[in-house]
Amino acid sequence: MAKLKPFIAGAVLALTAPLFISMIQAEDKFITIASTTSTEQSGLFDHLLPGFKAKTGIDVRVVAQGTGQALKTGERGDADVVFVHDTEAEIKFVNAGFGIDRRVVMYNDFVVVGPKNDPASIHGIKDATVALKKIAAMQVPFVSRGDNSGTHNAELRLWKAAGIDVKAVSGRWYRETGSGMGPTLNTAAAMQAYTLADRGTWLSFKNRGDLAIQIEGDPRLFNQYGVMLVNPAKHPHVKQDLGKAFVNWITSAEGQQAIADYKISGEQLFFPNASAGR
């Protein structure tokens, strides 16, 4: 009987080892995506990811950050995929060797929201820089994300185009929250202030208080999103094949249709444009 024990133990190990290995592999079949807060706070990922998993069996763990922080996460190799909205910063990321296979995915636009009584009298102005000049001239409160996100960088470009040095007035009528879009909108609602928001987060935002869209439609407010793999040549642990499966899916006809299908109260939040190229 004693002689049988090693045999039995070996047989049990032989039978259970493949199961154990398959369980480990199943648990490891996930990717980490560093993404802008707008894709999460708008509810887009909750809409998209079940379809991606059903198609591929791959789980997705989302790290929602401002675009600048998301790119830093990719630089450190702490994500497999980066999905953000600052074309200039994305191209620098790729050119520096941190990302590969960048593709455009979708777009929407930014809007300037503010109190319904519109103390700066900017409602309907089609040139966002003219509107910002009026806000600055009247020193009406404006809340900025101040977090190096795609939205924050877009906002800073608008102030620069308007010829306004917001750093010189920071802490006065110009306030920086250092936080995501949702908390910044909450602050703007509480302060009766203006702010720049991506339309997706604005449409999904519930605590609007007395805020309303005041400026929209300026071509400068165009908001492009891009996706790319973190470069496995810099970070060998990056799950290149699984990450590429997501990039391929989100830019495929199926993924693009899923983006187009996402609506709140009948209004489409994002518009797929992967066919536009890189």
Q: pLDDT digits over 78-114, tens only?
A: 999 999 999 999 999 999 999 999 999 999 999 999 9
- H helix intervals, the chain: 4-27, 37-41, 44-56, 67-75, 87-95, 128-138, 150-162, 181-191, 199-204, 240-250, 253-261
Which CATH number is 29-108+224-276 given?
3.40.190.10
**Residue 26 carries which side chain, given as an amino acid letter?**
A
Please name the amino acid found at residue 63.
Answer: V
**What residue spans define the domains of the chain?**
29-108+224-276, 109-221
The pLDDT of residue 163 is above 90: yes
The percent of residues above 70 in pLDDT, for the chain, comes to 90
Matching CATH number, 109-221, of 2.40.10.10, 3.40.190.10, 3.40.50.1000, 3.40.50.620: 3.40.190.10
* Burial class (CB within 10 angstroms; exposed 0-12, middle 13-18, buried 19+) of 131: buried
6 vs 155, higher pLDDT: 155
Residues 135, 122 contacting (CB under 8 angstroms): yes
Q: What is the pLDDT of residue 36?
A: 93
| Region 164-177 average pLDDT | 96
Domains 29-108+224-276 and 109-221 share a fold: yes
Confidence of residue 1 (pLDDT cuts 50, 70, 90): low
Position 15 pLDDT exceeds 80? no
The predicted structure's pLDDT at residue 275: 86
Mean pLDDT of 251-266: 97
Its pTM stands at 0.85
